[in-house]
Amino acid sequence: MSHAKQSRLAVVLLSGGIDSATCLAIAKSEGYQLNALTFRYQQRHAIELEAAERVSHAIGVARRLVLELPLGQIGGSALTSDIDVPKDTNPEEIGSGIPVTYVPARNTIFLAFAVAWAEVLGAADIFIGVNALDYSGYPDCRLEYITAFEKAANLGIKKAIEGELTIRIHTPLIHLTKAEIIRRGAELGLDYGLTHSCYDPDPSGLACGHCDSCLIRKRGFLEAGVPDPTRYSDTQYGSQCSVGSKT
């Protein structure tokens, strides 16, 4: 690996879940100096911030920035307001529409902050773990959205206009299934026991095992043939969930 590549800076959006953690591991494997960006946006599963910190320490980041965003004041999502998180969704229905766990404009907001930090750092590369195959139907996880945002970003920052920097948004997981993502992370030595995915954990942080995110996660491990390290509040669910469930 060349010295030039080793010195390249990247801003990686890190929530603490499977996808963002894998993205961080991939960026590291490609020789980037890692700058992890995490948000506390009044999400009900704020326990994921602890997972993001664990992953940051395990993989090794140059800088870690946690920003506070009052998205709970906007609401409109089961993750940021008093709307029930869907449980035990039919496997065929996950991803068939935009669920109530969609947070209005979340990736637009997150990427805008990532671009701002990247410009200050002089980092041309931003990594985000969006996925268009095995996901929950969020419109801001599609490649056409990311492509359009990248174009807009380069039209609106000083360093791009002056020719000092061209922002590139990397989506290494965009065409992978959850099982393929998990296999990739396992190949890189990522400990998924450090991550958190549940939208509605219990007060101690244990995963519910029934929300869409838990279902997608569980199936991913089963299909990947990788032991699921998730700690579920429902131990029977954790040990007996079948491959047929959308996990």
Regarding the domain with residue range 3-88+97-192, which homologous superfamily does it belong to in the CATH classification? HUPs (3.40.50.620)
> What's the pTM value of the predicted model, to 2 decimals?
0.91
Residues in the chain: 247
Is residue 234's pLDDT more than 80? no
Of 243, 207, 239, the residue nearest 222 (C-alpha): 243
Asked if residues 126 and 118 have their Cβ atoms less than 8 Å apart, the reply is yes
Asked if residues 115 and 157 have their Cβ atoms less than 8 Å apart, the reply is yes
Mean pLDDT of all residues in 131-143: 82
Asked if residues 127 and 110 have their Cβ atoms less than 8 Å apart, the reply is no
pLDDT in tens, 61-90: 999 999 999 999 999 999 999 999 999 988
Mean pLDDT of all residues in 189-208: 96
CA 130, 136, 140, 142 torsion-angle sign: positive
